[in-house]
Structure formats: structure tokens, C-alpha cells
Amino acid sequence: MKRTLSADTIKYSGKQIKLCGWVNSRRDHGKIVFVDLRDISGLVQVVFTPQNKVLYKLAQELKPEWVICLEGKVKQRPKGMVNPKMGTGKIEIEVQRLEILSKAKTLPFSVDTPGYEISEEKRMQYRYLDLRRSRMRRNLIVRQKVIRFIRDFLQNQGFIEVETPMLTKSTPEGARDFLVPSRLQPGKFYALPQSPQQYKQILQVAGIEKYFQIAKCLRDEDPRADRQAEHTQLDIEMSFVSQEDILDLTERLYTSLVKKLFPKKRMAKTPFPRISYKEAMKKYKTDKPDLRKNKKDVDELAFAFIVDFPMFEWHKQEKKWGAVHHPFTRPRTNDISEIKKNPEKILAFQYDFVLNGSEIAGGSIRTIDLAVLTAVFEVLGHKKEDLKKNFKNYFEAFNYGVPPHGGIAPGIDRFLAVILGEPSIREVIAFPKTGDNRDLMMDVPSEVTNKQLKELHLKITKKK
């Protein structure tokens, strides 16, 4: 007999079905044993009576989180026993066969609550149990629906999804790289991508005028609130476009997405406001303002674009200039002497996308003039000879006809956290890491064997 999901049982009144799943709870009422069976689709109530003594005795042994398989008849619940809070609350399964597939120890915490009351470290240590709770399952299902909608929307707009490499070159882009030693090229290293920045720009040189990717980005950053070592972003790059073209595409995407997948949400204002960085800092004292009329209203979505960012920012501690976004952003001037002489006055074609006080995307029009790009890197403290070495691909590829282009990279995790009302991006990621980049379930980072180190021509030196 083919398995039926719990949510579909209401379609089979009076018929025999087969169910498989976890024991969510067991209740002994007089001579009747009730079990709520849980699977990916939800819950359904199954019933055991003393008429079948062997089956009834086996049912009394069932414990929470045991994995079982059963066959039975779908029956309407007696009057007064209907549960309107359950999607299957009008029916129950009269069990005729039961098989215990797997037993479970007592869980370290309950999985039938939202889980906020449990320490995050313990939840992450037992993530395979934490994901059993309905809230977490909902989050993963919504995540999948959002990504599918994005893919369908962009493909209908003529975009091509292209995967870019995970093993790439270490370059000075802002954050610290994760390095991967090469076994076949001793003493040399790959870097995991902070973003597909260089690849997506080279795809524009290659003539892939509308590119997107659901991309993994990895950054070896110091612990920060609501950040982790890896995150997922929607990566978009387009040729022959203006800044307004990119903002318009983004607005249409998110407006359509919210209307389709989150119809109960209300957008505070459309079209989305365009606010200059200067105005935002002056009026709201932040570059990611929360524009909701009622800050406590979780169903209100206040999208906005922050534009006209400064190109550079002064890092007091390091006593040097840094890029507000990244070096590949196009300054609002091509005057190289002005860029070098007055970096504090230079604005850029860069923009952020904010939602309810959170930055959920950043993007820019890119620099295609190598002289301007060189000047930007020089302001950031890099030497010309190092640039041609580190960005050899740019200096080579951009000599073969490069179209004007730009893009934006919305964060999938942060958008989901905001729209689902979650306190952290870790609530919408299946297997997240802690703020200090540890995976408590897999116990990583971890040590490796001396044999592995020798193969990689590495040696560990420990501090005395």
C-alpha cells in the first residue's frame, strides 16, 4: 500500500490508508489510546482500542518521537470530538496494523513549542531535533517558496541562472577570506568566495547580459550580531542599465513576491521611497531607517532604497580610507585627480535596499574604466603593481570590450527573518553557525590528522 501524508488523510474518508511518521504525543483515555502522528505535512490523530489486544498492548508502549508505520481506516470523529485547530481535526484513523520502525531516547528539549525558551547553543547542538518543531519546518518551507518565486520571476524577465566557482582567488575586497590550501600546488591557496563579485562582472564581459544566482557567500569575520560565516544571497548583474533600472527591477520583484506569498502583509508605501544617504543620516540617524508608521505592526512592510552613498569612509583605528561598499563601485566622477585629492567628497552609484530597519540588499553600478578603478584602489592603500597581480583577470578581460553594467545582491536569510518575524537569521537557516563561526552539531571547526597536514604541506605552530 502506498503511503499517505497526514494532511491528505481528509480526502480518504471510509478508506484504508498507510501512514508513516513520528509519535508527536500519546494520550490514554480510559480504554482508548490516542496518538498524534506527525510527518512533514502536519498532524493526524490515530486511535487504538482494546478489541485488538496485541495491537493495543503495542500502542501502550509508544513514546514521543518513536518512528512508526501503520495502516488503518479513515473515520469521521464523533460529534463533540472535532478539533478545529487541526487541519485533520474532523477525522481520525482507526489503526489495524502497527510497526515500530525506530525508538527514540528522551529528547533534551521539547519540540512541540516554538523553541525560543531554549538556549540557542543547545538548539544548534541538536539541530536535527530542533528542526522537528512546526515553526522551523514552516520557515524552511517558506524559504523554498521564496527562492522558487525569485527563480521563476527572473527567468521570465530573461535572466540566465549561472553557477560560479566556490574555489577562487583571494583578493582584497573588504572582509577576510576563508583560505583553502592546495595539495597539488604546494604553498598556494584557494579562497572561498566572499561573493561572486568578479565572476558576475566577467559574465557581463562574456555577453551574459542578465545573470542571477542563488549564491553562497563566505566571510571570515569577527563575531557580529545577526551575522555568520556563510549566508545566501540573490546575486543579480545586468548590462546596459542605469541605477534606476536596477531599483525598478528590485521593486517589481519584491512587490510581486509579497503579494503572491505573503498576501496578509501590507506594504507601507509604493513606489518604494528613494532616500539619499545624507538625508537618511540627518533625519533618521541611520542608513537603514525603519519607516513603518507603527513599529509594533509585524504585518507592515516598509521598503525603501537608500542612494547616493559616499564612495569612501575613513577608518580611524587603521588610519586609512575604506570603501563604503566595495572598490568596484563606480564613483560619480571620472576625475582621477579629484578622487585621489578629495576622497571624502566623492559620492558613488551605490544603493542599499532596506526593510523595517534592516538592510536586506546592497548594489551598485560598476566601474569599467580601469584607470578609475586603479585610482580607487590607490586611495584604499593598494599599489598599482599589486593590483595588476591580484586583479589580473580584470585588467585582461576589460581590454576586450566591456559593457556598462551593475547589479544588486539581496540577502535571502535577512529578508526571511524580517518577513517571518524571527529574531535572527539563524532561525531561517537549516544548519546555521554561531556568531563565532562554529557548527555545534558537527563540532567544527575541528582538528585534522598529521597525515592530512603533511599532504597539504602545512605545519601547525602553537602559541607558548
Could you give all domains of the chain from N- to C-terminal order, each with its CATH number? 6-102 (2.40.50.140), 134-309+348-368+403-450 (3.30.930.10)
Is the pLDDT at 388 greater than 80, yes or no?
A: no
Q: Once rounded to an integer, what is the mean pLDDT over residues 334-353?
A: 95
Q: Report d(CA 430, CA 131) in Å as an integer.
A: 8
Q: Once rounded to an integer, what is the mean pLDDT over residues 17-41?
A: 95
| Weakest mean pLDDT among 174-178, 365-369, 387-391 | 387-391
| In the chain, % of residues over pLDDT 70 | 99
Contact between 91 and 9 (Cβ < 8 Å): yes
Backbone angles phi, psi at 320, to 5 degrees: -155, 165
Q: Tell me: the pLDDT tens digits for 118-158?
A: 999 999 999 999 999 999 999 999 999 999 999 999 999 99
Q: What is the pLDDT of residue 116?
A: 96
- Antiparallel, parallel or unpaired: β 91-102 and 189-191: unpaired
Q: What is the pLDDT of residue 225?
A: 64
Q: Tell me: the pLDDT tens digits for 209-227?
A: 999 999 999 999 876 767 7
Question: Which three-class secondary structure state does DSSP give residue 113?
Answer: coil
Q: Report d(CA 196, CA 247) in Å as an integer.
A: 20
Model confidence at 296, pLDDT cuts 50, 70, 90, reads confident
Q: Report d(CA 392, CA 360) in Å as an integer.
A: 31
Question: Contacts from 333-340 at CB under 8 Å and sequence distance 24+?
Answer: 334/369, 334/372, 336/371, 336/372, 336/375, 339/311, 339/372, 339/375, 339/376, 339/379, 340/375, 340/378, 340/379
Q: Once rounded to an integer, what is the mean pLDDT over residues 271-297?
A: 95
| Weakest mean pLDDT among 282-296, 377-391, 417-431 | 377-391
If one compares 73 and 322, the residue with the highest pLDDT of the two is: 73
